[in-house]
């Protein structure tokens, strides 16, 4: 249905991908408050229908709007960047280091501006912004600068008897021109962390920040233009038409962070050009809690991995807890006490917890809470304020598994607790669902830890804590199955945007007629012995060869 234009890819799924076009249908159907708007003529490859009831989610664009970034401009942008890349500028060590230093300097000099933008978009507490985003990016850029020469070095490889005499190596080379589409919940970290990897690998880069965090998107565009080489690193702001125009182009790699729904759109677009993708998605991240834990510490770490992580709006935040029936009440009491210590008796007044990003997501979360079979399962919290876009930390006990809150990623401050008779049952419960981006276990039982790691599949894991595994630069960050594909962080970021080129070196000396026709019986016998690595066979074949 043409006629309404939504300013975000979130909420759309492709209904046609034939030829050069992608057509999307909105997944939301509440249209009572939406005016019918003219479809944008500047983006003829998209057909959109009605979106969220929030009028803030609707953005009319007139057909004669000259500022819309369309397919023609996107094509021109990619051609310019390919020209820059072919010139070799981005491949040099000095260029890479200078850009990484620029990012580090930007994070140092513009910390106040970054904190303010994050507060405007998410009401993010200053300390949370510094710890979760600014500090992480400083560490990532310093790590890349420290290790870059080592990362860029070729790796020697042993050769076989069949190529003797020879040498071989693996040479990392930049892929070329890459596209990074980031998300809104950690808009600086999830934009610039992969950019650091792409720059370190020597690529030209286009960053498309999320329009759902407009203050951060605008600041990213301004700062990257100021601190980095804008002939090779570009920021394109916008929403559906801009993202679609970019996805129409041929890239050497695409990294997308966001929902599995939009991940499918990105992958479908990339498939037309056989472009490789990294998809950082999400899913329902479980946490198993044993009864033998130090309960106060466990409760605080659950809070850190849920409500202190952008109000639960994080792809690796704890989505639901599994514990035993006899232990559930103790865990709930511990969470209640720890929540009061963290956010006060009235968490709605706390300045230490972010708000819900926008009205649509607020209403989505309220809808999960108000479902008939869920609303009477609330054991803690449940308060909400639409004007402030705030929902109190909320704990629910034994919600039905077929309820909506257990069918989709919550991405908010709601935390269901499911109970089982024995914790071993939790493995089957987790594995019956799509593979999550992260899985957590709180226990002092060493055998339980081993079973958890061996039997539960997830993008990453933490034992006796939550979310902080992503701060370890030596660990890859990425999903598996429905939670994504590919990984980055540290050296994995460099590798993600590099091609590992295998190179064999040989001289002209020592050439043997063995590999060339005619294929006599003597050649065949010796070649088989060589290929099989049969030393005795090789010796016997050589005796026969030189015996005549």
Angle at 321 between CA 339 and CA 447, to 5 degrees: 115
Q: Select from 362, 305, 314 the least CA-distant residue to 338.
A: 305
CA dihedral defined by 159, 165, 171, 175, rounded to 10 degrees? -90
- Determine contact, residues 381/372, Cβ cutoff 8 Å: no
Burial class (CB in 10 A: 0-12, 13-18, 19+), 345: exposed
Rounded CA-CA distance 479/460 in Å is: 7
- Per-residue DSSP letters for 418-457? EEESSTHHHHHHHHTSPPPSEEEEE-S-HHHHHHHHHH--
Rounded CA-CA distance 199/495 in Å is: 11
C-alpha distances in Å from residue 53, one per residue of 35, 78, 339, 363, 530: 10, 36, 33, 9, 72
How large is the angle between the packed helices 93-109 and 214-227, nearest 10 degrees? 130
**Residue 148 phi, psi (nearest 5):** -60, -45
- Per-residue DSSP letters for 78-111? HHHHHHHHHTTGGGSHHHHHHHHHHHHHHHHHTH
Q: Select from 340, 353, 305, 458 the least CA-distant residue to 119.
A: 353
Rounded CA-CA distance 404/201 in Å is: 42
In angstroms, the first-to-last Cα distance of the chain is 84
Residues with a catalytic annotation lie at 280, 315
Rounded CA-CA distance 496/498 in Å is: 6
Which H or E run contains 503? strand 498-506
């Amino acid at each position: 249905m043409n006629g309404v234009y939504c300013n975000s890819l979130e909420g759309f799924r492709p209904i046609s991908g034939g030829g050069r076009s992608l057509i999307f249908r909105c997944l939301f159907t509440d249209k009572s408050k939406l005016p019918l708007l003219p479809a944008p003529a500047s983006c003829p490859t998209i057909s959109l229908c009605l979106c969220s009831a929030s009028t803030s989610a609707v953005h009319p664009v007139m057909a004669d709007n000259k500022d819309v970034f369309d397919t023609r401009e996107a094509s021109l942008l990619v051609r310019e960047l390919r020209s820059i890349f072919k010139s070799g500028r981005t491949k040099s060590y000095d260029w890479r280091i200078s850009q990484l230093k620029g990012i580090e300097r930007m994070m140092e000099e513009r910390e106040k501006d970054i904190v303010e933008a994050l507060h405007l978009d998410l009401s993010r507490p200053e300390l949370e912004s510094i710890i979760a985003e600014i500090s992480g990016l400083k560490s990532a850029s310093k790590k890349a600068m420290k290790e870059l020469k080592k990362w860029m070095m070729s790796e020697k490889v042993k050769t076989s008897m069949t190529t003797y005499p020879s040498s071989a190596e693996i040479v990392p080379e930049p892929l070329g021109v890459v596209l990074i589409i980031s998300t809104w919940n950690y808009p600086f970290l999830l934009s610039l962390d992969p950019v650091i990897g792409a720059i370190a690998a020597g690529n030209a880069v286009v960053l498309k920040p999320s329009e759902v965090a407009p203050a951060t998107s605008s600041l990213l565009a301004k700062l990257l233009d100021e601190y980095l080489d804008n002939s090779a690193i570009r920021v394109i702001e916008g929403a559906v038409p801009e993202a679609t125009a970019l996805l129409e182009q041929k890239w050497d790699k695409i990294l997308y962070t966001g929902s599995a729904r939009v991940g499918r759109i990105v992958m479908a677009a990339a498939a037309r050009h056989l472009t490789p993708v990294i998809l950082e998605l999400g899913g329902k991240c479980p946490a198993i809690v044993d009864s033998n834990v130090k309960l106060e510490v466990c409760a605080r770490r659950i809070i850190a991995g849920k409500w202190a992580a952008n109000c639960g709006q994080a792809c690796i935040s704890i989505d639901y807890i599994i514990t035993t029936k006899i232990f559930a009440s103790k865990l709930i009491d511990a969470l209640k006490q720890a929540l009061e210590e963290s956010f006060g008796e009235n968490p709605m007044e706390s300045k230490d917890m972010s708000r819900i990003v926008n009205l649509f997501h607020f209403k989505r979360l309220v809808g999960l809470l108000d479902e008939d079979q869920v609303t009477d399962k609330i054991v803690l919290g449940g308060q909400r304020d639409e004007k402030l876009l705030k929902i109190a930390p909320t704990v629910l006990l034994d919600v039905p598994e077929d309820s909506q809150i257990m069918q989709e990623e919550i991405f908010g401050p709601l935390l269901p607790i499911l109970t089982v008779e024995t914790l071993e049952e939790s493995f089957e419960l987790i594995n019956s669902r799509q593979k999550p981006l992260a899985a957590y276990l709180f226990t002092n039982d060493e055998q339980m830890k081993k079973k958890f790691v061996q039997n539960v599949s997830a993008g990453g894991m933490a034992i006796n804590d939550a979310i902080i595994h992503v701060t370890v630069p030596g660990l890859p960050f990425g999903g598996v199955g429905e939670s994504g594909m590919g990984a980055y962080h540290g050296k994995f970021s460099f590798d993600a945007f590099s091609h590992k080129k295998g190179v064999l070196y040989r001289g002209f000396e020592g050439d043997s007629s063995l590999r060339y026709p005619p294929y006599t019986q003597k050649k065949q016998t010796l070649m088989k012995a060589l290929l099989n690595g049969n030393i005795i066979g090789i010796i016997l074949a050589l005796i026969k060869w030189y015996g005549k």
